[in-house]
Amino acid sequence: MALKILLVDPDDEWLFEAKKYFEDLLYEVKMVTNGKDAQLALYNDKFFSVVMNVEVQNHAGLQVLKFIKTNYPSQNVLMITEVSEEQDEEDQMTVEKLKKMGATEAIEKPFKFDDLKGLLEGHQSVGDMVAGIPRRKELGPEEEVNESDDTFTRVKISEFYSSQPVLFDIFIKLKSGRYVKILHAGDALDKDRIDKYKNEKNVEYFYFHKKDLFKFVKYNNYFAKKVIESKKAPTNKKIKLLQNVSEKFLEQSFEEGLKPQIIDQGKEIAENMFSLIQQQEDLFSILRSYQDFDPNAFTHAYLVSLFSTSIIQQFEWQSKTTIESTSFACFFHDIGKMQLPKELLHKKVMEMNDEELAQYKEHPELGYQLLDGKNTIFTSVKQIVLQHHEAYDGSGFPFGKRGSKIFTLANIVGLADAFTHIVQEQELKPVEALKILLKDQNLMKQYNSRIVENLINVFVDPEKIAKDNKLPSNSRVVNKKVS
C-alpha cells in the first residue's frame, strides 16, 4: 500500500507539480489549499507525512501545526517557509523556529522537489519503504532505455541484496547511454531472470539510478545489521556486506552533500561497524587475509574505518561511542579533497611539485571547515578529520603538532590510512603490508608506538595476547575513555 502524503499550499500550480512528482515516486497524494481542509483531511485519513506551507490561510499554517501536535503528536510534519531579509529577525519564520514549534522537518524556499524527497525518505523506516511500494502481480516487461551514464550507479550481482518487492528499478548496461530495465519497482526479486543475465549472458553488474541510493543504503544497512547479529553468518560475509553499504553511503554523501538524513545514515553504519568489531571473535583471522584492491576512494575510506576501529578495540579505554565516532570520521577523513583541483586527486604525493603539495596539505583544514557547521557531528569527529595527517615526530600537517598534543584517535586513523595505502597500492595481504610498514622507520616515528603495537595485535589471536603488555612505548596513552 502506497505511503500517503498530504500537500497543503495556497499555490495550485505548485500543488499539481508536486503531486505529479510524488506520484511518480509511488506515493499516494492528497492536496488541499487551506488549513481548514488540511485539518479535515487529517480527521478523515492517516498520512505518512504532511507537507505544509506556513503561508496557508483559513486556519493559518502555524495554527494547523499546533492543532496537529496537540491532536496527532506522532504525525510527521514538514513545513515550507520563505525568509525575507526585509522582515525583522523576530518575524522571520526560520527552519530552526519551526522545528522548535513542533515541525518534524522544515525547508526554506527556494528548493527542488528532490530536496523534499530527501527529507521525507529520511524519516522512512525500512518497513515504510517496503510497504510503500505497490506490489506487482506479474513481472514488468523488460524495457530498453537511453539515459546518461551519470544518472546511474552499479553493484555487483553477486553482492546485490534486495527486499521483496524490489524498492527501485534495476537495469543492466548494454553500452554507454543504453540500458535495459530488467526489474521494476514493486516486482518480486526473480531469481530466474537474474540468473539468466548472470550465468547465461555473463553480466557482472546491476545498475540503478543514483536518486535511489538512499533506499539502497537504508535497506542494505538494515540487512547488514541482521546478518552481523546472526551467529550463523560467516564473518567474511559480514565484512563484505558492511563494505558494500559503506561505499554506497559515501557515494551518496559525495553526490548529495552532508544533509541531516545522510549524517544519520552514517551514524547507523558506524553502529554496525561497532557491532562487527565487538562480536566477531574470529575477526583477526579474516583480517589477516582480507584483500580488496579496488583503489577507489570509497573502498579506501571503508578499509581505514575497519582497521581504525579494530585498533581501538585493542585498548582498555575503548567504548561504543569512541568506536562509532571514529568509524564515522573515517568515512569523511579525506572529504576536504573535494575542495582541491581535480587534477591533484589523481597524483601521488611524491609526484606533486611544491605548489601542488602546499595545496594538498590544505585538505584536512578544508575538511574540518566542511564539517564545522554541522552541530550533529561530534567534536571528536571533526578533530580526527583535522589532525589525521599530524605526525608523532612533528613532521605532519597542517599544524606540525607533536607527541601527546596530537588527538590519539587522529593518530590511530593516520596509521590506518597509511596502512591501507600500502595494502591497496601494492596489492598485498594485510599481514604482508604490515611487514613493510614496520620496516619503514621514518614512517614508524610518525605514530605512537602503543598504537602501532595494537595494529599488530589486530592480526593476532586475542587468546595469545597478554592482558598486561609491557612492551616499551614512546609515549603514555592514558587508560581512560577518549571522546
Q: pLDDT (tens digit, 9 = 90+) per residue, 285-302?
A: 777 766 665 567 788 999
User: Does the pLDDT value for residue 266 go beyond 70?
Assistant: yes
Same structural domain, 435 and 366? yes
Say yes or no to pLDDT of 476 above 70: no
Strands 143-146 and 178-183: antiparallel
Do 163 and 24 reside in the same domain of the chain? no
323 and 443 share one domain:
yes
Q: What's the pLDDT score for residue 470?
A: 43
Q: Residue 421: name the closest of 409, 430, 408, 410 by CA.
A: 430
Q: Are residues 24 and 149 in the same domain?
A: no
Question: What's the number of domains the chain is made of?
Answer: 3
Q: Domain end: 211, 240, 264, which one?
A: 211
Asked if residues 9 and 33 have their Cβ atoms less than 8 Å apart, the reply is: yes
- What tens digit of pLDDT does each residue of 443-472 get? 999 999 999 999 999 988 666 654 444 444
- Residue 41 counted as domain residue: yes
Q: What is the model's pLDDT at position 282?
A: 73
Q: Say whether both 195 and 47 belong to one domain.
A: no
R_g of the chain computed on alpha carbons:
25
- Residue 182 domain-assigned (yes or no): yes
Q: Is the model's pLDDT at 481 over the cut of 70?
A: no
- Taking CA atoms, 227 is separated from 161, 238, 351, 428, 434, in Å, by 12, 6, 43, 28, 29
Sheet with 76-81, edge to edge strand ranges: 28-32, 4-8, 49-53, 76-81, 105-108
Residues 6 or more apart whose CB falls under 8 angstroms from that of 235 comprise 280, 282, 283, 286
Residue 45 has pLDDT above 60, yes or no: yes
The per-residue pLDDT for range 414-446, each reduced to its tens digit, is 999 999 999 988 988 888 999 999 999 999 999
Which domain, by its residues, includes 90? Answer: 4-123
Quote the cell numbers at residue 184.
521494476
Confidence band, pLDDT 50/70/90 cuts, at residue 148: very high
Residue 282: name the closest of 63, 460, 42 by CA: 460
163/302 same-domain check: no
Residue 19 pLDDT class (50, 70, 90 cuts): very high
Residue type, 9: D
At residue 293, the pLDDT reads: 56
- Does residue 129 lie within any of the structural domains? no
Identify whether residues 309 and 413 lie together within a single domain: yes
Q: Identify whether residues 301 and 421 lie together within a single domain.
A: yes
Is 97 a member of any domain?
yes
**Residue 287 belongs to domain with CATH number:** 1.10.3210.10
Q: Is residue 44 domain-resident?
A: yes
Q: pLDDT tens, 373-389?
A: 888 889 999 999 999 99
Q: Quick one: 369 and 422 in the same domain?
A: yes
Mean pLDDT (the chain, rounded): 87
